[in-house]
Structure formats: C-alpha cells, structure tokens
Amino acid sequence: MHPGLIVAKLVTMVLGFLIAYQAYRGYRRNHSRPMLYVAIGFVLISFGAVIEGLLFDVVGLTLSDSGTVATIIVAVGMLSVLYALYGRDTKGVED
C-alpha cells in the first residue's frame, strides 16, 4: 500500500471514530437511542473504509472480495445512520 493512502485512510478512520464517540456521548447523556445508532453506523463506516486494504494486503483476499466485504460493512453502517434518522424513537412515548 502507498504511504499517502495509508495516512488518508487512517485520518478518515480517526475522524469517523471521533464522530462515533461524540454520538455515543450524546446517547449516554440524553438516553437517545438514535444517537446510539449513529455511533454504531459511524464505527462501521470508519472501519469499512480501512478494512479493504487490510483484507487485500494482510489476509490475501482478492481485490474484488475485499472490496465487497468493505462495501457491505459501509452499507450496514449507512443503514444504521439512516435508521437513526428515520426510525421511531420510543423515548417518552406513552402507550
């Protein structure tokens, strides 16, 4: 892997984890389940951005297979964020 690409992916991962941490803090402070889904989503998106290179270089998967795995992880992360935006937050809802 090229050093510039490694640095760019690490910066992306760190930024994503910082966003996830802030979302998790929001979840803990306000007991807001959507913030938990945002945190989970950003962890997956950040991890997915880095995993392709690891699977290709370290594990030895083909570029196609490692790209597929990374894309699935990122897609699940985006679904988690999307659920946080459009899902029902049952906090404070009375039956």
Neighbours of 69 (CB within 10 A): 18
Rounded to an integer, the average pLDDT of 63-76 is 95
How far apart are alpha carbons 67 and 74 in whole angstroms? 10
Would you put residue 92 in left (φ > 0), alpha (ψ -120 to 50) or beta? left
CB 34 within 8 A of CB 87: yes
How far apart are alpha carbons 72 and 93 in whole angstroms? 33
pLDDT of residue 88: 75
pLDDT exceeds 70 at position 24 = yes
Give the residue carrying structure tokens 């802030």.
Answer: 22
Handedness of CA 45, 50, 53, 55 (dihedral sign): negative
Q: Kindly indicate the confidence band of residue 70, based on its pLDDT and cuts at 50, 70 and 90.
A: very high
How far apart are alpha carbons 32 and 84 in whole angstroms? 10
